Chain A
């Protein structure tokens, strides 16, 4: 079956012993069921080929029709698509709340919204953008793309992945329904105590905030673990550590940051809930607690959070730069090391959010140094991308335009961040509109612009159709101008003394003109998103057909159909280069021998990416959805009574047993 290997050196496939471990499954000396030869009755993909193989695999891996089928699906692409769409809907909701705030601030002593609604609006804006858009959008792309890019058929833990999506969805719905019913949180996305504590926030508003954290973080950690396992264990044979696409590296590092950072905010919000609901005193200074402990816990999460939002974007940028520069990336190893360094450093910066709390001076200046030091790995990334473009042959399409916008905006935001890292300067600009300007440059520049580029880039893969290039260029122009008109003046407004989170200001402060400019910019910027929405809808219906690899890119997701079939690949690819499709233009080297009738995929070794096992992966199941429902009941109930843990646990336990109990027909799956 194996064809002769071409003479061209980079096409050469290494000998089988470097692609597979050849090890037994059971312990030495034990006759293990793992090593039983496959059932000869079972059809394998070395016995069938072409359209028949495609059709049979699609049946094995497909999602059933109907509502139960839709809720039972474990296909990472279906879940990933829902995830991306949900996160983008939240992006629009967050943007809408921002527009209302901007209209309120357009002129002094405006009466469009009062302080109560304004406080809910900026809380909802922050919460939505950080927890319901910022973190999930990176993970959502990982759910969709990481399995495709590493050349496998499903994500590490497909049912956990489905469960995570529903938990995230229910958490987001809960907080927005609460907002619609006027019990939306009004204590800021950071919910500092004592303002959010039992004494100063009676009612349920702060509880809604804290419990939404539990929802999104449970979801976030679970997906991060699935992503890590996918990137570690499910890589195509031959995909050694130094052949992992930079996007996957970014998502991998991001997942580690999530695993270690998110527990901090869960701890903070759990402590807050306990202080509020069962009378603990962890943050109550009168009984030995401390308000600053909350800030330490929150920012120990809160700063890595910025990188959780930024790291996936570096993956998008890397993918787009390489494809549109028509050159393999310059400085792959430095880029990977920069990602890892950013991940580590992100945990050493949290105190720079607390420079004005009166901390010991020497300690504070340590955090100045560490905060500025993060400029080094970020600088390396920026320079390597520019070098790739320098030595490449750039093709100016919409994705690259947004990446160029990213450079302009993000670098400016990063540099103003250097100012905030300095303790003395921070005392002037902290909690002013200067900071608002800074982090919107960082987050919109560092996440949203690359995201839009990524959507233009992968839309053909998701839908099979191209987005309109002409609208894309208009979209870019409007977004770039709108963004800068909205946010650049805020630097000045902040320096002129305007604090954040004020619902109005007086005419004599002299901030009116700048605020009016910002509002005009914000409306333009929001308008650019309406154009984007139109482009998405129109292109999904009538866009030009894309084909598997419309950009002639090099990574494995482009070796699948557009949109990919349920099985992703008819056979698992074998990887010999960082850009497999550039290295193998005529034929794709693949592994054969996997089941066509059961959901088998290759499990490989962590570093060398050598094929080790052919393991089955779970079938669709309704139980993850039911578990998410039970979890939601437990979480929401516990906001009202601690007894929810008593009556809420049995249904949850039952749902989990249903989830893990093997189906009679497929003995081996879990």
Chain B
């Protein structure tokens, strides 16, 4: 469009400046809510949390429409899902260490914590694969099967995303880039992992326990 073709041009005077503040002594980055990235992470967690909430809403809507639940299938198995839940909840501890050591800008410990978190993520992914085998229903069998796979799939997507992020960050911390603002990224990555944990709890209860209580 022609808008692009217009040359920048300066006519008329801009008001002269009067310096009232100097930024030289301000820090170059900070942690938590002082950092824009943290707010961005919160924003994405909010949008994705809304996605979870809507999928859960759809689940209960289908329960309400049908009355009997879980339609014709037996409830899903508890073993692998239970193990997954235990490991998931337990991962909050190394995750909190990663966050703390990141904020202390302790490179050695941060590297160790990130390796642990990457391994934890891989283990969880393995358990998740096993979990899918114990659902006793296919996604194309009925609406119950569909929404079940949707919920579990949605959480798996977040698990995989954060695992990928963690692995890349781990590698990054072992390169010469592992200093300064990267430590702030370690904290934000840990924050997102908390979201993955927190979103699992309701989904676990809904997928595995709700059909038994209904």
Contact = CB atoms under 8 A, between A and B. Distances in A.
A278 interface: yes
Contacts of A662: 172, 177, 182
A165 to B, nearest CB: 14
Nearest to B46: A259
Contacts of B20: 2, 5, 13, 16, 19, 574, 589-591
B209 interface: no
Contact of A590 (B9, B19, B58, B172): B19
A443 to B, nearest CB: 24
A263 B47 contact: yes
Given A44-B24, A592-B23, A559 B14 contact: yes
Interface stretch (B36-44, B109-117, B119-127): B36-44
B55 interface: yes
B97 to A, nearest CB: 14
B103 interface: yes
A653 interface: yes
B142 A588 contact: no
A295 to B, nearest CB: 11
Interface stretch (B59-67, B81-89, B190-198, B200-208): B59-67
B140 A34 contact: no
A661 B25 CA distance: 28
A277 to B, nearest CB: 11
Contacts of B1: 85, 89
A252 to B, nearest CB: 12
A221 B40 CA distance: 11
A365 interface: no
A46 B50 contact: no
B2, B17, B47 pick with most chain A CB within 10 angstroms:
B17
Contact of A587 (B15, B30, B58, B147): B15
B2 A464 contact: no
Interface string A618-650: 000000000000000000000000000000000
A293 B58 contact: yes
Nearest to A561: B10
Given A259-B43, A290-B61, A615 B29 contact: yes
A668 B139 contact: no
Nearest to B7: A464
B22 A156 contact: no
B24 A540 contact: no
B50 A32 contact: no
Nearest to A462: B3
B48 interface: yes
Given A2-B18, A225-B40, A263-B54, A26 B27 contact: yes
A199 interface: no
Given A34-B28, A34-B29, A549-B12, A46 B177 contact: no
B18 A16 contact: no
B143 interface: yes
Interface residues of A, number: 119
B47 A262 contact: yes
Interface stretch (A188-196, A229-237, A329-337): A229-237
A60 to B, nearest CB: 16
B105 A584 contact: no
Contacts of B31: 25-27
B19 A615 contact: no
Contacts of A615: 28-29, 35-36
Contacts of A3: 18-19
A592 B71 contact: no
A293 B55 CA distance: 11
Contacts of B51: 263, 266-267
A274 B18 contact: no
A289 interface: yes
Interface in A538-591: 540-541, 545-549, 559-563, 565, 570-572, 574, 581, 584-591
B143 A593 contact: no
Contacts of A439: none
A555 to B, nearest CB: 14
Contacts of A571: 17, 19
Contact of A297 (B19, B26, B58, B103): B58
A282 B105 CA distance: 48
B58 A34 contact: no
Contacts of A470: none
Contacts of A26: 27, 30-31, 103, 105
Contact of B23 (A24, A271, A593, A606): A593
A5 B20 CA distance: 9
Contacts of A274: 139, 146, 150
B17 A588 contact: yes
Given A25-B28, A232-B39, A540-B5, A603 B143 contact: no
A38 interface: yes
A540 B1 CA distance: 10
B17 A590 contact: yes
B25, B28, B181 pick with most chain A CB within 10 angstroms:
B28
A463 B36 contact: no
Given A288-B142, A662-B177, A565 B18 contact: no
B4 A81 contact: yes
A216 B164 CA distance: 25
18 contacts: A13-B20, A25-B28, A49-B17, A81-B4, A259-B50, A263-B48, A267-B55, A275-B146, A290-B65, A549-B12, A562-B10, A562-B11, A570-B17, A592-B19, A593-B21, A602-B23, A605-B34, A616-B28
Interface of A: 1-3, 5, 13, 16, 19-20, 23-27, 30-38, 44, 46, 49, 81, 85, 89, 156-157, 160, 221, 224-226, 228-229, 232-234, 237, 259-260, 262-264, 266-267, 271, 274-275, 278-282, 284, 287-290, 293, 296-297, 300, 462-465, 536-537, 540-541, 545-549, 559-563, 565, 570-572, 574, 581, 584-594, 600, 602-603, 605-606, 611-616, 653, 657, 660-662, 667-668, 670
Interface of B: 1-6, 8-31, 33-37, 39-40, 43-44, 46-48, 50-51, 54-55, 58, 61-62, 65-66, 71, 103-105, 139-147, 149-150, 164, 168, 172, 177, 179-182, 185
Query: Considering the complex of A and B, which 7 residue pairs feature the smallest CB-CB distances, nearest first?
Result: A25-B27, A547-B12, A288-B143, A280-B146, A225-B43, A279-B140, A593-B23
